[in-house]
Each structure stands twice: as C-alpha cells, then as structure tokens.
C-alpha cells in the first residue's frame, strides 16, 4: 500500500513539473481556439491558420474553427483555400448563421471571378436565409455586371432598406466607405466596366 502511494505521489510530481508544450496533443479544443484567436488578433495569420488546422484535423466537424480559418484565407485573398471550408460549413450546419454567411462569402468570391450565375445562387441563399443586406448588395453588383439594370436597382434598394433598418449606429460609415470601395473593386475586376462606371455616381448618391 505504501509503495502504491509513493508511486502515485511521484507521478503527480512529475506531471506537475513537465512543461505542457512537450505534450501539445493533450491541449483541449478550447485552449487551442483561444490560442488561435490570440494569434489572429496579433496578426500572426500563418500561426493562426496552423492552429485552426490542427483543431480541424482532430475535430473535422468543428464549424467555428473552419469559419475562422476560411475568413483568414479570404482576407489573404487565398480564395481557393477558403471555399472548401465554407462549403463544409454549409454541409455541417446548413441552418446556421455560419452557413448563411459562408454562402455570402462564396457568392462574393464567385462574383470577383466573374462567375455571376454561381455568385447569384450563393448570394440569394444567404439573403433568403437570414435577410443579410450585404448579400442584397452583392446581388445588385452581380445584376449590374450581367447588364440587368432594373434588377440591379431593385437589389440595391433592398440592400439600402436593410442597411437603414439595421439599427447599427456605426454602419453608415461602413456602407458609404466599405461597400463603395467594394464597388470600385468590381469596376476593376468586372466585365462590363462602362455599365459600372455609369452607375457609380448613382450608388454614391443613394
């Protein structure tokens, strides 16, 4: 009995002095998520991606980790890497806000690539799922570049209504700055530059 007690004490003492980083696989998901978020917030994007990837390798159904990794890829313009995560999120949690916003992000990527049919399909999924006015704005851009001016106006008005009723006091500057900047990006990457240039003053006025 004394021998067993002695062995137990030795084990406790040993494990208490061994640094955790020698056995990183024992770190739980919550700890790893916190670590990844700290890396992301410190602009250590590569390390954050590695940590999120580690979480996903052991927990492939972890939607939040996939969302965070996809968002970093999107911000880094690594679109080909972000799309698989977004699609997997839609598959894993089809009725969640994560899925709706993933559809929105895929729609944005396809629009940038000039794949307007796919862009519209994903953007509509996002809009009709949660009524996200940002997706309505995307659809306005998409229809404009398709040459469907009336439909573009309808979607822009829908987006504007959503923006006005959002109740976010800081969103006006976001709308006027961020999304007009997005439109400028569409001008640079879109196929119908004359149409987009024609309507840019109208969008700014609205």
The predicted pLDDT at position 149 comes to: 85
- Ranges of residues in the chain with a pLDDT under 70 are 1-27, 163-197, 199-206
pTM of the predicted model over 0.75: no
The predicted pLDDT at position 160 comes to: 74
Give the C-alpha separation, 66 to 85, whole Å. Answer: 6
- For 116, phi then psi, to 5°, come to -70, -30
Instruction: Give the C-alpha distances (Å, rounded to integers) separating 10 from 1, 6, 16.
Output: 14, 6, 10
The predicted pLDDT at position 14 comes to: 39
The answer to whether the CB of 109 falls within 8 A of the CB of 77 is: no
Q: Per-residue pLDDT tens for 5-41?
A: 443 333 333 333 333 333 344 468 889 999 999 999 9
DSSP-assigned states of every residue in 23-85: SGGG--HHHHHHHHHHHHHTT-HHHHHHHHHHHHHH-TT-HHHHHHHHHHHHHTT-HHHHHHH
Contacts of 176 (CB under 8 A, 6+ apart): none
The predicted pLDDT at position 153 comes to: 85
The predicted pLDDT at position 89 comes to: 97
The predicted pLDDT at position 204 comes to: 60
User: Looking at residue 177, what DSSP letter applies?
Assistant: I
User: Looking at residue 5, what DSSP letter applies?
Assistant: H
The predicted pLDDT at position 176 comes to: 52
Give the C-alpha separation, 106 to 50, whole Å. Answer: 22
């Amino acid at each position: 009995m004394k021998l067993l007690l002695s062995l137990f004490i030795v084990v406790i003492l040993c494990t208490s002095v061994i640094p955790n980083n020698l056995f990183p696989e024992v770190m739980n998901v919550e700890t790893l998520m916190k670590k990844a978020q700290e890396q992301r917030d410190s602009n250590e994007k590569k390390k954050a991606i590695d940590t999120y990837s580690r979480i996903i390798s052991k927990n492939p159904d972890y939607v939040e980790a996939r969302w965070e990794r996809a968002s970093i890829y999107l911000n880094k313009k690594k679109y080909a890497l972000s799309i698989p995560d977004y699609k997997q999120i839609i598959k894993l949690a089809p009725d969640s806000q994560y899925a709706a916003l993933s559809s929105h992000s895929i729609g944005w990527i396809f629009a940038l690539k000039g794949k307007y049919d796919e862009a519209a399909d994903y953007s509509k999924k996002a809009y009709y799922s949660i009524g996200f006015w940002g997706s309505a704005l995307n659809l306005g851009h998409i229809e404009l570049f398709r040459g469907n001016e009336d439909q573009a106006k309808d979607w822009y008005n829908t987006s504007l209504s959503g923006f006005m009723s959002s109740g976010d006091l800081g969103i006006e500057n976001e709308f006027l700055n961020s999304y007009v900047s997005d439109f400028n990006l569409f001008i640079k990457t879109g196929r119908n530059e004359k149409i987009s240039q024609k309507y840019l003053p109208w969008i700014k006025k609205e």
